[in-house]
């Protein structure tokens, strides 16, 4: 286990976790060369549903690693961090893919379910299919926010057998303690900005799911939900086998099982992430010997914008994908 620090310095005029988060999401430069182009495949799931998988079209030599990125809540291959990781993969000659969680590719999935933070069974199925289809490529996996928590849960659940599928895993700005993160995003500025942003897409998708499967949940109660706790209580938890939000957040969190991980694993969390209280982050004493903790003071939530030019204007967000990507490559 290592507690080494990711050396990140924020642009001088972009102080605070919210500024670093919002700039990265809305105004950052995500790639140095051409924007990534994608080839989309539809994978039929074992339960009769489907997911859509985007694979970057750039060339990767035979035998080069395949990096699989699991996106965050309401994310996709168009998310700023996915584009930045695709750019890193192109520059370094890696194959790269973004599997979309159910309902996140632009088309609603069919089954009476969506996706959730502890969905390690879905992670397992996806990673094993990638391993079968690319037997000549070492497999690396990263997950951002929600996707990172689910990936770390998978690594912990699989134990020693995870090493037969992947060489290493990494989580980026993941709420490894879901209760701490869930309550934090439901308060103050977070509730006014981030909660509204997420619910703006999550509620309409849930209502479309209700049209597919009448009686699945209480429509009026869902429309009255004003935070993720209430949304998860009505939709996410019951649809995925949890008793309620508290049960979901408790059982799906990766933090309590990080000590069971037996493959090289990196957990990167900025200590000023507005979604994730620093006091909730795992300590070296709480993780296994294969887990590396990077907890820089700054960076925000999937932010890490870096400056360029004489004025130090915030520019690209490749600092984080570069650091995480090279850490993963070093584990092969």
The CATH number of the domain holding residue 25 is 3.40.50.1820
Asked if residue 278 and residue 246 are part of one domain, the reply reads no
Out of 251, 271, 295, pick the residue that ends a domain: 251
In a domain, 6, yes or no: no
Domain range for 207 is 179-251
Q: Which of 29-38, 200-209, 219-228 has the lowest mean pLDDT?
A: 29-38
| Burial group, residue 209, by CB count within 10 angstroms (0-12, 13-18, 19+) | buried
Asked if residue 238 and residue 117 are part of one domain, the reply reads no
Asked if residue 170 and residue 238 are part of one domain, the reply reads no
Give the per-residue pLDDT at 9: 87
Asked if residue 61 and residue 122 are part of one domain, the reply reads yes
Q: Which residues pair with 313 in a beta bridge?
A: 308
pLDDT digits (tens, 9 = 90+) for 234-269: 999 999 999 999 999 999 999 999 999 999 999 999
Q: Measure the CA–CA gap between 98 and 75, rounded to whole angstroms.
A: 10
3-class SS of residue 151? helix
Q: Which residues contact 188 (CB under 8 A, 6 or more apart)?
A: none
Work out how many domains the chain is built from and give that number.
2
Asked if residue 246 and residue 258 are part of one domain, the reply reads no
Asked if residue 65 and residue 76 are part of one domain, the reply reads yes
How does residue 330 score in pLDDT terms, banded at 50, 70 and 90?
very high
Write out the catalytic residue numbers.
145, 273, 301
What's the average model confidence in pLDDT over 218-238? 97
Nearest 10 degrees: Cα torsion 320, 161, 177, 145: 30
Out of 251, 281, 296, pick the residue that ends a domain: 251
Q: Which residues pair with 204 in a beta bridge?
A: none
Asked if residue 210 and residue 171 are part of one domain, the reply reads no
In a domain, 12, yes or no: no
pLDDT digits (tens, 9 = 90+) for 277-306: 999 999 999 998 999 999 999 999 999 988
Q: Measure the CA–CA gap between 98 and 66, rounded to whole angstroms.
A: 11
The structure tokens listed for 236 are 């996410």
Cβ atoms of 43 and 118 closer than 8 Å? no
How does residue 3 score in pLDDT terms, banded at 50, 70 and 90?
very low
Asked if residue 63 and residue 34 are part of one domain, the reply reads yes
Q: Which residues pair with 29 in a beta bridge?
A: 316
Out of 201, 234, 251, pick the residue that ends a domain: 251
Label the pairing between strands 291-294 and 265-268. Answer: parallel
Asked if residue 173 and residue 206 are part of one domain, the reply reads no
pTM: predicted TM-score of the whole model, two decimal places: 0.96
In whole angstroms, how far apart are CA 27 and each of 144, 261, 315? 19, 36, 8
Asked if residue 208 and residue 131 are part of one domain, the reply reads no
């Amino acid at each position: 286990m290592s507690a080494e620090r990711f050396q990140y310095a924020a642009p001088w005029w972009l102080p605070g976790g919210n500024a670093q988060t919002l700039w990265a999401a809305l105004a950052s430069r995500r790639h140095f060369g051409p924007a990534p182009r994608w080839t989309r495949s539809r994978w039929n799931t074992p339960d009769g549903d489907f997911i859509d998988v985007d694979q970057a079209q750039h060339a990767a030599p035979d035998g080069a690693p395949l990096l699989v990125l699991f996106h965050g809540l309401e994310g996709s291959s168009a998310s700023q961090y996915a584009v930045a990781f695709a750019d890193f993969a192109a520059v370094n000659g890696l194959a790269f893919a973004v599997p979309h969680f159910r309902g996140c590719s632009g088309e609603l999935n069919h089954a009476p379910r969506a996706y959730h933070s502890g969905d390690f069974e879905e992670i397992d199925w996806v990673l094993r299919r990638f391993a079968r289809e690319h037997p000549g490529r070492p497999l690396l996996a990263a997950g951002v926010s929600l996707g990172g928590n689910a990936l770390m849960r998978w690594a912990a659940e699989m134990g020693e057998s995870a090493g037969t599928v992947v060489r290493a895993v990494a989580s980026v700005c993941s709420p490894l303690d879901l209760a701490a993160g869930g309550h934090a995003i439901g308060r103050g500025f977070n509730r006014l900005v981030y909660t509204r942003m997420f619910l703006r897409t999550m509620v309409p998708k849930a209502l479309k799911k209700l049209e597919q499967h009448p009686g699945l949940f209480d429509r009026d109660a869902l429309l009255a939900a004003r935070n993720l706790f209430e949304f998860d209580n009505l939709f996410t938890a019951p649809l995925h086998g949890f008793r309620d939000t508290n049960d979901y957040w408790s059982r799906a969190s990766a933090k309590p099982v990080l000590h069971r991980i037996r493959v090289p694993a990196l957990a990167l969390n900025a200590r000023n992430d507005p979604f994730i209280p620093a006091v909730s982050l795992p300590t070296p004493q709480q993780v296994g010997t294969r887990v590396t903790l990077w907890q820089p003071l700054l960076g925000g939530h999937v932010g890490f914008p870096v400056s360029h030019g004489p004025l130090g204007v915030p520019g690209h967000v490749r600092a984080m994908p570069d650091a995480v990507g090279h850490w993963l490559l070093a584990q092969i």
